[in-house]
Chain A
Amino acid sequence: MVDVPYDRIADVPPAEVPEVELYHPKSWWTQYVFSQDAKVIAIQYSLTATAIGLVALVLSWLMRLQLGFPGTFSFIDANQYLQFITMHGMIMVIYLLTALFLGGFGNYLIPLMVGARDMVFPYVNMLSYWVYLLAVLVLASTFFVPGGPTGAGWTLYPPQAILSGTPGQDWGIILMLSSLILFIIGFTMGGLNYVVTVLQARTRGMTLMRMPLTVWGIFTATVMALLAFPALFVASVMMLFDRVLGTSFFMPALVEMGQQMKYGGGSPILFQHLFWFFGHPEVYIVALPAFGIVSDLISTHARKNIFGYRMMVWAIVAIGALSFIVWAHHMYVSGMHPHFGFFFATTTLIIAIPTAIKVYNWVLTLWRGDIHLTVPMLFALGFIITFVNGGLTGLFLGNVVVDVPLSDTMFVVAHFHMVMGVAPIMVVLGAIYHWYPKVTGRMLDDWMGKFHFWVTFLGAYLIFFPMHYIGLLGVPRRYHEIGEAAFIPSSTHTLNAFITVMALMVGFAQMVFLFNLVWSYFKGRPSGGNPWRATTLEWQTPETPPGHGNWGKELPVVYRWAYDYSVPGAEQDFIPQNQPPRPTRAVQEAAP
């Protein structure tokens, strides 16, 4: 029938651009320290983020000690408590989660998953990390300056953020704002790289609709970050001027200690708008990479293709777009016009639709799957449950009339910790268990992993479920001590002590995890190149860990989507993306 030999590469379009030669390190310094290799930069990002994240973890213990046993710890006073919550929040949201998902996972996975040798501009990518490190150091330095770090709360609302009643008014707030500005500059350099790499540097056959959802999540989140961080940048610059130069962008006329201040005519609400125009997309900047990664974890460990891949992609894009028009639902009690509240409540609840699509599709992927309860899978399941929990309380808070009484209570704290604290961290941990073998060539210890999962998962619920209840009772957040109030039953104190004990136990489990990371690096079971028998390109590299340039001599060619698991008739229960299709029978017969 066909008299030409079957050419399996013919149906993949030819390469469009010549390969760009990589920077080849010439010394130890340029190989491991000032490295332009995305994989090294990813590890640098991850280690730095983890290190500063540990600081934030310790701060959370100190906060819990104070809340659980008020008055027992003389070294925690009210000012320090405020400084702890501020630094804990800011570090966790921006310097840990954003940096880890985009700088860490983004740098490691994007080039490998789209079949590129590196990011498009490795030098700029390297600068991104060093500016990020500088931002982290400036942030960390606030612990050692006179007055300590700022205690304005992670939202840094003016006017209180720069008034003398707030701890850290001398140096803390200045360095915090400077650090944010640096972070945004550094992130922009990296983020441009991630976006252009996904758009313009994919390998042959890798269409956008064949990309793993991990890449889709990180890509969309990066685009959002490039559009949302400008608002925070501007807000930080303006507040810095208010503090340092005495301008009045955000500062109304004020009397402080009986003295009329020089400020006047500024708008604190303007800051809130700018902050939340960044702040709400930021929630999804953290959540979308988690959505993407968890999709891949579930599909791989349930040996089933992801359910509704296209819908998953469009849901990610829709969530990304919608998240830019919901910001004022953080401002229902700021005194804005009720009609705005109605508009923002509506858009907020509309986001539930694409989000629900994603949750259904995860569950339907699991349905009748060949579920392997590996540690990454456990964390993925933990994520789904936690995210649904946090999402449901989000529906409460998205409605104006329900939000107003719940605003600024522990209910809000419990809600956002579930939805954008615990849930993404579950994915981060699952992803580390999943990709650690690729990064190091060794498996993480399974027993320690399962211990880590169960303590973290159950512990997180034992921390945050009671916290919802405490919030419903009306216990306000950001109070270092609730004291004796008529509306607060004494059992609240017992619950607070219980939460504190749980928080310390979950913290201990993280130490086991860190020990596991170090121990397995030296003593872990060798993993081989593809321990999870996964389809995506990063598992098909010629070397593990992948070498400089990722792919050896030839770039991989992609023939299929990322989810060919348990394909009927296939020899194995997975088909890697770069495995050519079998020739059709007619061609087979015709070929000699």
Chain B
Amino acid sequence: MAETALTNREKSPAQTAGWKGIAADWSSDQRAFKNVSWGKAMMWIFLLSDTFIFSCFLLSYMTARMSTTVPWPNPSEVFALEIAGQHIPLILIAIMTFILISSSGTMAMAVNFGYRRDRVKTAVLMLVTAALGATFVGMQAFEWTKLIMEGVRPWENPWGAAQFGSSFFMITGFHGTHVTFGVIFLVAIARKVWRGDFDHGRRGFFTSRKGNYEIVEIMGLYWHFVDLVWVFIFAFFYLW
């Protein structure tokens, strides 16, 4: 189509730094965020919206925890495991957190190799990230099972305020759903990378658009966000 006037695909040399640059970008035509693709902008705005969802969940949980008259179960004790005769508080959560943070590392590496158009390494690192994410979800399933066996239910638990179980299952469940969706999309995109879709300009089945390696970075944004949210859940639910 209108290919003749495309002189400005890369970073414009006229861009200025700082607040003046921001003002110049926002008062310019076509794009408010220069050099930001549609997909990346959309992911950032989605994450902003999702931040509000998790904030509401966490604030509701804090309200419940602060206003309840029944004692709140001690998370250090509830989430302790007996390993080799040792009673270690929060050990499972610590390992889960370590795994999830590590997966952020492999994701960042995948993004890096994606921009080098290194098909194989990108795909492998994405699959490693997906595997770590799946491990996280698996360990969460183990934790849920353990708590359910000990008698924790959304509506009651043996140790104190009923809202403990409700908040626990709701918040970790919602976060776990995010991780699960992330794993599914990681595998789907890794498959596309592996197959070379972004090198050959293969068109999407539904959208008939050509993808490119930037999708790896967009996927990375989501993944880091989910990890970041976990840090807040870890701090507010397990450490408080």
Contact among B42, B53, B161, B209 with A21 in the assembled complex (CB-CB below 8 Å): B209
Q: A227, B1: Cβ atoms under 8 Å?
A: no
Interface residue? A231 (CB, 8 A) = yes
Q: What 1/0 flags go to A96-130 for Cβ under 8 Å of B? A: 00000000000000000000000011110000000
Interface residue? A208 (CB, 8 A) = yes
Q: B42, A267: Cβ atoms under 8 Å?
A: no
Interface residue? A12 (CB, 8 A) = yes
Please, which residues of chain B bring their CB within 8 A of the CB of A17?
A: 6, 9, 30-31
Instruction: Tell which of B55-63, B116-124, B183-191 binds the partner.
Output: B55-63
Interface residue? B52 (CB, 8 A) = yes
CA distance A590 to B199 in the complex (A): 51
Interface residue? A583 (CB, 8 A) = no
Contact among A23, A195, A238, A241 with B208 in the assembled complex (CB-CB below 8 Å): A23
Q: B49, A238: Cβ atoms under 8 Å?
A: no
Instruction: Tell which of B67-75, B81-89, B127-135, B141-149 binds the partner.
Output: B67-75
Interface residue? B115 (CB, 8 A) = no
Q: B38, A121: Cβ atoms under 8 Å?
A: yes
CA distance A579 to B41 in the complex (A): 31
Shortest Cβ gap from B201 to chain A (Å) = 11
Shortest Cβ gap from B176 to chain A (Å) = 14
Q: B30, A202: Cβ atoms under 8 Å?
A: yes
Q: B1, A19: Cβ atoms under 8 Å?
A: yes
Shortest Cβ gap from B213 to chain A (Å) = 16
Interface residue? B17 (CB, 8 A) = no
Contact among A199, A202, A264 with B162 in the assembled complex (CB-CB below 8 Å): A264
Please, which residues of chain B bring their CB within 8 A of the CB of A249?
A: 60, 64, 163, 166
Instruction: Tell which of B21-29, B94-102, B230-238 binds the partner.
Output: B21-29
Q: B46, A192: Cβ atoms under 8 Å?
A: yes
Please, which residues of chain A bring their CB within 8 A of the CB of B161?
A: 265
The winner among B30, B33, B34, B208 for most chain A CB atoms within 10 A is: B30
Q: B155, A245: Cβ atoms under 8 Å?
A: yes
Instruction: Tell which of A389-397, A506-514, A551-559 binds the partner.
Output: A551-559
Interface residue? A353 (CB, 8 A) = no
CA distance A195 to B26 in the complex (A): 14
Closest to A195 in B: B45
Shortest Cβ gap from B155 to chain A (Å) = 4
Shortest Cβ gap from B214 to chain A (Å) = 13
Closest to B165 in A: A247
CA distance A2 to B67 in the complex (A): 77
Please, which residues of chain A bring their CB within 8 A of the CB of B67?
A: 265, 267
Q: A196, B38: Cβ atoms under 8 Å?
A: yes
Q: B163, A248: Cβ atoms under 8 Å?
A: yes
Please, which residues of chain B bring their CB within 8 A of the CB of A14?
A: 5-8
CA distance A14 to B63 in the complex (A): 53
CA distance A237 to B61 in the complex (A): 13
Given contacts A16-B31, A204-B29, A249-B60, contact A265 B69 (CB under 8 A): yes
Interface residue? A274 (CB, 8 A) = yes
Shortest Cβ gap from A202 to chain B (Å) = 5
Given contacts A15-B2, A16-B8, contact A188 B31 (CB under 8 A): no
Please, which residues of chain A bring their CB within 8 A of the CB of B206?
A: 123
Interface residue? B32 (CB, 8 A) = yes
Docked complex: A1-38 residues within 8 A CB-CB of B: 12-21, 23-24, 36
Which secondary structure dominates where chain A touches chain B? loop
Interface residue? A437 (CB, 8 A) = no
Please, which residues of chain B bring their CB within 8 A of the CB of A523?
A: none
Number of interface residues of B (CB under 8 A): 55
Shortest Cβ gap from A18 to chain B (Å) = 6
Please, which residues of chain A bring their CB within 8 A of the CB of B26?
A: 208
Contact among B31, B53, B60 with A270 in the assembled complex (CB-CB below 8 Å): B60
Interface residue? A203 (CB, 8 A) = yes
Interface residue? B196 (CB, 8 A) = no
Contact among B31, B39, B53 with A230 in the assembled complex (CB-CB below 8 Å): B53
Given contacts A227-B48, A241-B166, contact A248 B33 (CB under 8 A): no
Closest to A18 in B: B6
Please, which residues of chain A bring their CB within 8 A of the CB of B41?
A: 196, 199-200
Q: A207, B163: Cβ atoms under 8 Å?
A: no
Q: B8, A199: Cβ atoms under 8 Å?
A: no
Please, which residues of chain B bring their CB within 8 A of the CB of A18?
A: 3, 6, 9
Interface residue? A205 (CB, 8 A) = yes
CA distance A205 to B29 in the complex (A): 5
Interface residue? A209 (CB, 8 A) = yes
Shortest Cβ gap from A584 to chain B (Å) = 22
Q: A248, B166: Cβ atoms under 8 Å?
A: yes
Please, which residues of chain B bring their CB within 8 A of the CB of A199?
A: 31-33, 41
Please, which residues of chain A bring their CB within 8 A of the CB of B33?
A: 199-200
Closest to B27 in A: A207
CA distance A23 to B2 in the complex (A): 17
Interface residue? A575 (CB, 8 A) = no
Contact among B1, B27, B170 with A238 in the assembled complex (CB-CB below 8 Å): B170
Interface residue? A262 (CB, 8 A) = yes
Contact among A122, A246, A266 with B207 in the assembled complex (CB-CB below 8 Å): A122
Closest to A117 in B: B1
Closest to A227 in B: B52
CA distance A246 to B8 in the complex (A): 59
Please, which residues of chain B bring their CB within 8 A of the CB of A462?
A: none
Please, which residues of chain A bring their CB within 8 A of the CB of B52?
A: 227, 230-231
Shortest Cβ gap from A477 to chain B (Å) = 28
Contact among A21, A201, A209 with B27 in the assembled complex (CB-CB below 8 Å): A209
Q: B7, A238: Cβ atoms under 8 Å?
A: no
CA distance A245 to B163 in the complex (A): 12
CA distance A266 to B63 in the complex (A): 9
Given contacts A15-B30, A553-B1, contact A196 B42 (CB under 8 A): yes
Interface residue? A226 (CB, 8 A) = yes
Interface residue? A356 (CB, 8 A) = no
Please, which residues of chain A bring their CB within 8 A of the CB of B70?
A: 265
Shortest Cβ gap from B36 to chain A (Å) = 7
Q: B63, A267: Cβ atoms under 8 Å?
A: yes
Please, which residues of chain B bring their CB within 8 A of the CB of A195?
A: 45
CA distance A277 to B174 in the complex (A): 21
CA distance A16 to B32 in the complex (A): 12
Please, which residues of chain A bring their CB within 8 A of the CB of B55?
A: 230
Could you list 9 examples of A-B contacts with CB < 8 Å? A20-B38, A121-B42, A196-B45, A199-B33, A200-B41, A204-B30, A205-B29, A230-B49, A247-B162
Given A192-B45, A199-B33, 19 additional A-B pairs, CB 8 A = A13-B8, A13-B28, A14-B8, A15-B30, A16-B9, A17-B9, A18-B3, A19-B1, A121-B38, A121-B39, A123-B207, A195-B45, A201-B30, A202-B29, A206-B30, A238-B60, A262-B155, A265-B67, A265-B161
